[in-house]
């Protein structure tokens, strides 16, 4: 299976969902012109980190976001890994990703497991309980949000369940961009899988965000990498290469999980 990926590395209007919906729609038009088969948005792309106003601006049960993504997927006939949004539920607010197939069907929902206390997520968001693995085009993949990538055992779990590509969406800050790049390459190498990572760019009152979205192959080689500004990052991946790579260095055959 070959996928042409488009990562929407966009700036995010702080606390302004309406403006961000409009921007996303324009980015989807660009991705359609590039004939992308999967399009990826960044973390919290509708609100940014306007956490103190989530009671006001979070999406009630995610309904409006889900409808928007389904309409865009059907219109353009591509799959969407819908970044993440602040979803308001009875028990609070979660940081939730939707995956929509090209027919507009919701195929997966994942709420961020690891909340980043340095940005006060634990004060305003609830951790999810969802499994990250999903299937699209008959292939298994994993879904992760930002801080998740610092927990290699969480990503490995999806790979051991058959995931060949791991999608990461983020609002990763500029001061730690070196960590972003190294961690993503390490996750690709140790799991012998593709990593598709979409980060935002721009800034809010408290943070500057790094951009540098990346598409990485199972050797850890960077197929495509964004700069620090807005862009549609494009890269092509071939999932059939994974079996050949894993046969050359059979790390999964040599694992000794009874020891760890």
Residue in the structure block whose two tokens are 């809010």: 204
DSSP 6-32: EEEE-B--TT-HHHHHHHHHHHHHHHH
- Tell me how long the chain is: 260
**Contact in structure between 159 and 191 (CB atoms under 8 Å):** yes
Q: Examine the residue annotation and report whether 225 is marked as an active-site residue of this protein.
A: no
3-state secondary structure of 84: coil
Q: Which of 7, 36, 146, 193 is catalytic?
A: 146
Q: Which of 43, 109, 121, 171 is catalytic?
A: 43
**Contact in structure between 125 and 64 (CB atoms under 8 Å):** no
Q: Which of 109, 112, 171, 193 is catalytic?
A: 112
- First and final CA of the chain: distance in angstroms? 33
**How far is residue 229's CA from residue 84's CA, in Å, rounded to a whole number?**
20
CA distances to 20, 159, 180 from 171, in Å: 15, 24, 11
Q: Examine the residue annotation and report whether 198 is marked as an active-site residue of this protein.
A: no
**Contact in structure between 251 and 242 (CB atoms under 8 Å):** no
Q: Examine the residue annotation and report whether 56 is marked as an active-site residue of this protein.
A: no
* Catalytic residue ranges: 43, 112, 146
């Amino acid at each position: 299976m070959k996928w042409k990926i488009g990562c929407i590395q966009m700036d995010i209007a702080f606390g302004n969902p309406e403006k961000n919906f409009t921007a996303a729609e324009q980015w989807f038009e660009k991705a359609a012109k590039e004939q992308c088969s999967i399009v990826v948005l960044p973390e919290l792309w509708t609100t940014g980190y306007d956490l103190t106003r989530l009671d006001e601006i979070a999406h009630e049960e995610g309904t409006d976001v889900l409808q928007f993504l389904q309409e865009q997927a059907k219109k353009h006939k591509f799959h969407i890994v819908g970044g993440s949004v602040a979803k308001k539920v009875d028990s609070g607010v979660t940081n939730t990703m939707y995956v929509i197939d090209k027919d507009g069907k919701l195929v997966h929902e994942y709420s961020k497991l690891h909340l980043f206390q340095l940005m006060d997520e634990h004060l305003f968001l609830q951790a999810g309980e969802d499994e990250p693995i999903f299937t699209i085009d008959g292939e298994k993949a994993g879904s992760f949000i930002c801080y998740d990538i610092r927990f290699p055992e969480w990503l490995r779990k999806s790979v051991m369940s058959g995931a060949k590509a791991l999608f990461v969406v983020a609002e990763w800050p500029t001061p730690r961009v070196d960590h972003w790049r190294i961690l993503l390459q390490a996750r690709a190498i140790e799991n012998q899988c593709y990593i598709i990572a979409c980060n935002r760019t721009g800034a809010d009152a408290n943070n500057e965000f790094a951009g540098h979205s990346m598409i990485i192959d199972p050797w850890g080689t960077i197929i495509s990498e964004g700069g620090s500004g807005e862009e549609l990052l494009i890269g092509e991946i071939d999932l059939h290469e994974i079996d050949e790579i894993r046969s050359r260095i059979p790390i999964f055959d040599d694992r000794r999980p009874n020891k760890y």
